[in-house]
Amino acid sequence: MKKMFLKLVLLCLCLLRLDGAFGDDEVKTVPMMEGYSVTINSGLTEMKDDDVIRWRFGDENTLIAEINVTADRFTVYDDVLDGRFRDRLKLDNQTGSLTVTHTTTEHAGVYKLQINSEIKSFSLTLYRAFGESVSVMKGDSVSLNSRLTEMKDDDVIQWRFKKRFRDENTLIAEINKPADRFTVYEDVLDGRFRDRLKLDNQTGSLTVTHTTTEHEGEYELQINRVIKSFSLFVSGLKSVKEGDSVSLNSGLTEMKYRIQWRFNFRYENTLIAEINKRFDRFTVYDDVLDGRFRDRLKLDNQTGSLNITHTTTEHAGGYYLQINREIKRFSLAVFDEEKTVSVKEGDSVFLNSGLTEMEDDDVIQWRFGDENTLIAEINKRADRFTVYEDVLDGRFRDRLKLDNQTGSLTVTHTTTEHEGDYKLMMFSDLRMNSNLMMISDLMSPGRFSSKVFRVSVYGE
């Protein structure tokens, strides 16, 4: 949210510098944030005594404002088009410029200005005031929802991506309904989206599969002249058995300048370790948070990676690594002692969540194997129960059953391919839609619990 806020501030400052107006090019496109006012400049410094000025809007060229200087008549037709311009139009009585106040997506489109026999066109593009923040676990798929139930026959939809705020937006997917064309540009940006993009041919929503940290960034959706934005965060999941050690890898071969490690606890990012190369200072703050990290933190003095020893469930949660101005995120799950389960090949195995009934805000995930592959998920708030049967070459196809009351998982018709570790992650007591929160934010003490089941499958 902080990143999105900074973007809004910068955009507003730019708009203020432009005085909310745009010039007299033959066709001019301007971005404007929803809810703000915009002035469309006629290009005149002063109207002449015989000038007739008309402002029109949309494909039907609907007359919305008119000035007849000779008759000293200034008129706004704000009840046309179902009243979308009512109490929103203002005419400048000296220049004839038009201001649209309290803009909404209905005001996006082409405005035509006729000054006597001369015609100019302006295109207004509106941005949503706030974008969505979406989190996904590394390797999982994520869907960016267009919020359309169905596209219209004349819709043009474009998806763009940029890694950082200052980067240029790169077109990665496009739908042109009039031309019946659905296109994904998988080879852009060094092919990071190759075989990973899927477009919904009914709604225009975009799904990114097999996510990596390369897919983390800003996604921009333009539907005709309306623009929405999404911030995607990709968290790497680390899991460790209680009592063991875990290393959070900085990804560096050698440090430069400054590194900070922070731990998320109840939405506060607490500084737990810091390196300042310039002053040759390596510091661990192991007495913070009631000393839960005391004598447990070790910093690698070459790479800046962080090692946590003698882990307990108190160390589960989100870790943030800031390298200069870049931030990386890690989610750590600390599991209790395993419950080993043995099952005869062909039989079913029941993995008990331990719950008698899920709460309305619960999110439950079942993951399998060393890669923590998501195989089943329940989101009670969204009333969504999903089994991902086609992952891992379809080994779980038609074999997974979720209990919609307790979240327990049953694997039927087991084979040796189903042998391994099943990890249960339960996010509890969510106060807002989980799609708007970081995975690492959810994994705070009191909100997150986990179990692991080691399943062995034996023959006849």
pLDDT, tens digit (0-9, with 9 covering 90-100), for 439-448: 444 444 445 5
For the chain, the first-to-last Cα distance in angstroms comes to 56
- Judge if 46 and 136 occupy the same domain: no
DSSP 407: -
Domain boundary among 275, 301, 335: 335
User: What's the average model confidence in pLDDT over 326-332?
Assistant: 76
With contact defined as beta carbons under 8 Å apart, do 303 and 254 qualify?
A: yes
188 lies in the same domain as 138: yes
Q: Are residues 247 and 212 in the same domain?
A: no
The dihedral sign for the CA sequence 195, 201, 202, 204: positive
Q: How far is CA 287 from CA 261, 293, 297, 310, 392, in A?
A: 14, 7, 11, 16, 43
* 326/348 same-domain check: no
Number of separate domains in the chain: 4
Quote the pLDDT of residue 266.
58
- From CA 353, how far away is CA 239, in angstroms rounded? 18
Interacting residues of 27 by C-beta distance below 8 A, sequence separation 6+: 121, 122, 123
pLDDT at 18 over 50: no
| pLDDT tens digits along 374-433 | 899 888 777 788 898 888 888 899 999 999 888 899 999 998 899 888 888 876 544 333
Q: What span, in angstroms and rounded, lies between the C-alpha atoms of 261 and 269?
A: 9
- Work out the average pLDDT over 138-154: 83
343 and 331 in one domain?
no
Instruction: State both tokens at 316.
Output: 């589960």
pLDDT of residue 402: 92
Q: How much is the mean pLDDT over the chain?
A: 79
The 10s digit of each residue's pLDDT in 282-298 is 888 888 888 888 999 99
Among 192, 217, 234, which residue terminates a domain? 234
- Identify whether residues 202 and 278 lie together within a single domain: no
Choose among 206, 203, 236, 199: nearest CA to 220.
Answer: 206
Q: Please identify which residue in the block is written with the tokens 């800003």.
A: 218
Q: Are residues 151 and 105 in the same domain?
A: no
Q: Which residues lie below 8 Å from residue 418, measured CB to CB, with a gap of 6+?
A: 349, 395, 396, 399, 411, 455, 457
349 and 418, same domain (yes or no): yes
Is 165 in the same domain as 75?
no
* 157 lies in the same domain as 198: yes
CATH number of residue 9's parent domain? 2.60.40.10
What is the structure's pLDDT at 31? 56
Report percent pLDDT > 90 for the chain. Answer: 13
> For residue 435, is pLDDT > 50?
no
Boundary residue ending a domain (234, 269, 288)? 234
Its domain, for residue 406, covers 339-458
Supply the pTM of this predicted model: 0.53
CA distances from 368 to 308, 388, 413, 422 (A): 24, 11, 17, 5
Whether residue 113 contacts residue 53, with contact meaning beta carbons closer than 8 Å, is answered with yes
Instruction: Compute the average pLDDT of residues 260-270.
Output: 76
Where is mean pLDDT largest: 82-86, 371-375, 422-426? Answer: 82-86
pLDDT the model gives residue 280: 80
Same domain, 214 and 119: no
In the block, residue with structure tokens 């990114």: 208
Q: What is the pLDDT of residue 171?
A: 93
Weakest-pLDDT range from 37-41, 90-94, 293-297, 315-319: 315-319
* 21-25, 71-75, 328-332, 440-444: range with lowest mean pLDDT: 21-25
pLDDT tens for each residue of 21-62: 334 444 555 555 666 788 888 888 888 888 899 999 887 889
Residue owning tokens 């661990």: 284
Least confident of 244-253, 335-344, 384-393: 335-344
Judgement on whether residues 123 and 138 belong to the same structural domain of the protein: no
